[in-house]
Amino acid sequence: MTRALSDRRFRAANARVAHVSLRGHVDAPEYVEGEVMRCSWPFADLCRSPNGPRDLQILRGQPVRVLEIHAGWAFVIDEVGGYVGYLPEAAVVGGVHPTHRVGARLAHVYAEPDIKSRETALLSFFAEVEAGAVEGGFHALAGGGYMVAQHLVPLGWYADDAVAVAEMFLGTPYLWGGNTGTGVDCSGLVQLAQYAQGRACPRDSDLQQALGQPVEPGARLRRGDLVFWKGHVGILQDAQTLLHANAFHMAVTSEPLQDAIDRIAAREFGAVTAIRRIGETP
């Protein structure tokens, strides 16, 4: 409750409505439970205010709790990470029951069950779709369109290795607040990798720094350890190699850990603030 009141990222209240959990804590004309709906666009920016700055992106099929629709905008709670913000009203729909997730970094939706047919959408890793049985190598999607079977995994599938998920994004352009294979930032990459392994993970690096257990100075580093700076995070491919989405290269890159430490100390975020270990990674 403290975070929901003090951190604007999680404060589910505006001038007209508040979530019922805030009754007695904030003044609002109306308190609502909200309705769980899902993103219908390939992805949509979750904005701090209508037409405001992007905090993150909501993927197709991802659930959001809609507290209010007003003047073309839905005021929502991201059901995955708890963030609060605004989506275009046209981007949220009800009645969707996902069965599969995208298992590739990016995957096309086709107009027909034919890879030579026109593509109608581009979906990112872990977007959720409602899909029928495989016929002729394709899933038919509820609402129209087809996806090749190789690009989808069952909804209950999770990755064995978070680092392997992050490695899929090598070369992806850096995008502040990005959550997709077309653009991602440092904490978005870490969240996708952890979420794909079935672990809850906050969206921003300041919150991610509370995950797992600290790796003490001088301890042997491992694949999957998270390295933090004030305002930045990366994931280790091995004890000497850092994988991270960064604005220096403007892409997801792999580089020697010490090179990154030296450059970041000199040019960007200062010294490493923490190294955290989240479970065991292959």
- The per-residue pLDDT string of the chain (282 residues; one tens digit each, 9 = 90 and over) reads 678 888 999 999 999 999 999 999 999 999 999 999 999 999 999 999 999 999 999 999 999 999 999 999 999 999 999 999 999 999 999 999 999 999 999 999 999 999 999 999 999 999 999 999 999 999 999 999 999 999 999 999 999 999 999 999 999 999 999 999 999 999 999 999 999 999 999 999 999 999 999 999 889 999 999 999 999 999 999 999 999 999 999 999 999 999 999 999 999 899 999 999 997 543
CATH number at residue 67: 2.30.30.40
Domain boundary among 138, 154, 170: 154
Regarding whether 136 and 61 lie in a shared domain, the answer is no
Domain that includes residue 140, residue range: 100-154
Regarding whether 129 and 52 lie in a shared domain, the answer is no
Regarding whether 167 and 273 lie in a shared domain, the answer is yes
**What is the pLDDT at residue 281?**
42
Neighbours of 72 (CB within 10 A): 11
Domain boundary among 54, 74, 93: 93
List Cβ neighbours of 34 (8 Å cut-off, separation of 6 or more). Answer: 19, 65, 66, 67, 76, 77
Sign of the C-alpha dihedral computed for residues 68, 74, 75 and 76 taken in this order: positive
Q: How many structural domains is the chain composed of?
A: 3
282 belongs to a structural domain? no
The token duo for 58 is 């909501």
Three-state DSSP state, 166: helix
**What is the pLDDT at residue 2?**
76
Q: How far apart are the first and last CA of the chain?
A: 36
* CB 49 within 8 Å of CB 103: no
The token duo for 229 is 């700076």
**What is the pLDDT at residue 3?**
81
Neighbours of 121 (CB within 10 A): 17
To 5 degrees, how large is the angle CA 122–CA 124–CA 129?
Answer: 85
**What is the pLDDT at residue 279?**
77
Burial environment of residue 100 by CB neighbours within 10 A (0 to 12, 13 to 18, 19 or more)? buried
